[in-house]
Amino acid sequence: MTNIYFRSIRQPELETVAEAKRGCWMHVVDPSQEELADLAEKYNLDLDLLTDGIDLHESPRLEHEQGVAYIYTRYCWPANMETSTQPLLIIVAGDMLVTVCRRQPEPIDKLLANTQIVTTQKIKLLLQILSEINIGYRVHINQITKQIFASRSRLQRSIVSDEDIIRFIYVEEDLNEFMAALQPYGILLKSLASGKYFKVHAEDIDLIEDIELSTSELTELSKSRLKTIQNMRDAYSTIAANNLNRIFKRLTSIAIFLSIPTIIGGLYGMNVRLPFGDHPLAFWMVLGLIGGIILGFIAYFRKQNWL
């Protein structure tokens, strides 16, 4: 599906046009190979680079071919089962901006909701898209942070469940993928600020630097949350191992206590003469002896902190 948007400074609102024209924004969603070939031929674009734009595992990078800049980015989409990020190709051509993606990106939806965007200012529009991508990462990392703090609070009360551990694994995978996208994305932004690929004004450079700083913060935040999750998982493993050792220690103590009446009862079950064998209160005397020995063992175990 292809939509073409246009708005100049003089126009009150963003409009959808039927044909591409100078200063427009062409947005292509889930194109077939035939559509990509037609797009490449009609607008003098590189077909291989266009195809890379819908590759699910394409990394952020910047390519420059015949005066056209191909900016490969990845935006946050944790709802996907395969990957937590999705590719988005932004093409800065001579007289228009082109975006190519596998599915409709949330950053684009939010940008389209702002009908005041100006498509004739393609560099500014490009930076607005990049800024929305960063906002998407920040929103989801903030959600992850709330989940981590809630789990840490439960961990302090020793009520972390198996579902929490499974959630840690999924969150850790998301954060690792975010970092894999954000780190090369930061390098891409440095290249944009150089002005080597297209002309940028001083205010555009300031905005690029702001986005670059935001990307660095997101990368460091992802690293910090990863470290927190790893520490919590290690703490949970230590607590679980400690609890298991305590349980085994108690079970061993119980087995020792139960063996005392078993041994004494076995001795008095033998068909031989034993102390108190003819005494009328022999049963209660033996029972008291067993109880006394068990109480002695309990006192000794408590003193040694074995219970």
Model pLDDT, residue 156: 62
pLDDT tens per residue across span 195-208: 677 777 777 788 88
Cα first-last separation, the chain: 70
pLDDT tens per residue across span 77-123: 876 667 788 999 999 887 888 999 988 888 888 888 876 788 888 88
| Angstrom distances, CA of residue 4 to CA of 44, 46, 139, 233 | 17, 20, 28, 49
Q: In what order do the strands lie in the sheet with 2-6?
A: 15-17, 2-6, 25-29, 97-101, 85-92, 68-76, 61-65
Q: Kindly give, in sequence order, each residue whose CB lies less than 8 Å from that of residue 137, ignoring residues fewer than 6 positions away.
A: 75, 76, 178, 182, 218
Residue 307's pLDDT band, with cuts at 50, 70 and 90, is low
Q: Kindly give, in sequence order, each residue whose CB lies less than 8 Å from that of residue 298, ignoring residues fewer than 6 positions away.
A: 257, 307
pLDDT tens per residue across span 9-42: 888 888 888 888 888 889 999 888 989 998 888 8
Residue 285's pLDDT band, with cuts at 50, 70 and 90, is confident
Residue 271's pLDDT band, with cuts at 50, 70 and 90, is low
Q: Please check whether residue 65 is in contact with residue 90, taking contact to mean a CB–CB distance below 8 angstroms.
A: no
Residue 135's pLDDT band, with cuts at 50, 70 and 90, is very high
Q: Please check whether residue 166 is in contact with residue 223, taking contact to mean a CB–CB distance below 8 angstroms.
A: no
Residue whose C-alpha is closest to residue 73's, from 83, 63, 58:
58
Q: Please check whether residue 38 is in contact with residue 108, taking contact to mean a CB–CB distance below 8 angstroms.
A: no
pLDDT mean across residues, the chain: 83
